[in-house]
Structures are given as C-alpha cells and as structure tokens.
Amino acid sequence: MTIQVLAAAILIASLSMREAAAEGFELVTREAWGAKPAIQQRMTEHQPSGLIIHHTSVAQQPKLSLERKMRGLQAFSQRPGKVGKRRKPAWGDVPYHFYIGVSGRIAVGRSLQYAGDTNTNYSTSGWIQVVVEGDFTKEKPTQAQLAALRALTTHLKTTFGITGARITAHDDHASTNCPGSALKRYLPTLR
C-alpha cells in the first residue's frame, strides 16, 4: 500500500461527523452501519487515481435506513449469487467504496486500500467506486444525492489529485446502462 492510499484511508476513516458536514456531506462510518470485517484474501490492493460513478439499478427506498441497506449489501456481496442473470463469486466486502443514499447520507464501504468488485468486464484497479442509490434509467437522483455526490467528488479529487478526465461512469468502462441517463447527464458538472 502506498503512503497516499494509507493517508487517504486514514483521512476518510478519521473524518468526524462535524468535519464531514464542513466538507458538505454526512458520512456514515463502517462502524456506524454495523459492517462485518472484510475478507481481505478476496481483495486486491490498488492505488486510486480515478472515480467511477454507478447507480444501484434498484428503485430508491427512502423508508429503509442506509445502515440496513449497507448490511444487506455486504451480506449479499460476501456470498456467491447473481447480479441480474450473471453469476457472481463471493467478494471480500461491498463492491463500492462509497454509497450515497436517497437522503444524501454517504456510507463508507470498502476500504480505499482495495480495488472494488464488479460483475461486468473491466478492471476496477485504480478506480474509486461510488454508487448512488436508485435506478436512473427510470427515476431521477434527489437533490440531496447530487449535492452529496458533488461534495464527495470534490473531496476525493483534492485528496487523490484526480483530474476531471478521470471522473467516469460505469458505462464508460463496460457494456451496461449504469449509471442511467438521469445520473450520467450530471457527470460533466463533477469534472
């Protein structure tokens, strides 16, 4: 692990709620959402140098707590299963580094030390995976989600020295409709 990744991981892990609010977002730590330990043997270390924006491809669920969604995502991720019609292996942890819920709260997912996981055909090494809750082929992101995405993206660009050209959508890397047109049209404003 490089010094930059370690420093960024420590920075994200140590952000207090007050500091996150000053940055423009509410951060829900792994401890706060009740994460189980990651299975590190199933993960690969990497050096983040860009962002990939995703959608969950499932309708927004405002009545379900972000903490419960994250626990469910982790349980699903750490066992074999299916994503759509495709089989997936058991992953070491949630596939994303950050999850932005309907209310704009941001949950910390996988450690930035490790590349994310995917069930599509591209390399996740070097990419910070950010997912926004919703199916943006059918619905629109909330203003709170867009504000949180902007604040988080700004923070990650500064922390990692990421240029605008390295802020991409999932469909820039693989044959998919992710992150949906309603979210993809917002990406140029993040660069």
Interatomic CA distance for residues 150 and 154, integer angstroms: 6
pLDDT digits (tens, 9 = 90+) for 44-83: 999 999 999 999 999 999 999 999 999 999 999 999 988 8
- CATH superfamily entry for domain 3-190: Peptidoglycan recognition protein-like (3.40.80.10)
Residue 80 · residue 88 · CB < 8 Å: yes
Q: How far is CA 134 from CA 53, 55, 173, 178, 182, in A?
A: 12, 6, 20, 11, 10
The reported pLDDT for the residue numbered 46 is 96
User: pLDDT tens across 97-156, in order?
Assistant: 999 999 999 999 999 999 999 989 899 999 999 999 999 999 999 999 999 999 999 999
Kindly state the tokens that stand for 123: 């390399």
pLDDT at residue number 20: 58
Q: What are phi and psi of 118, to 5 degrees?
A: -150, 155
- Contacts (Cβ under 8 Å, ≥6 apart) of 28: 66, 67, 70, 105, 106, 107, 108
pLDDT at 82: 87
Amino acid at 162: I
Q: Where are the domains of the chain?
A: 3-190
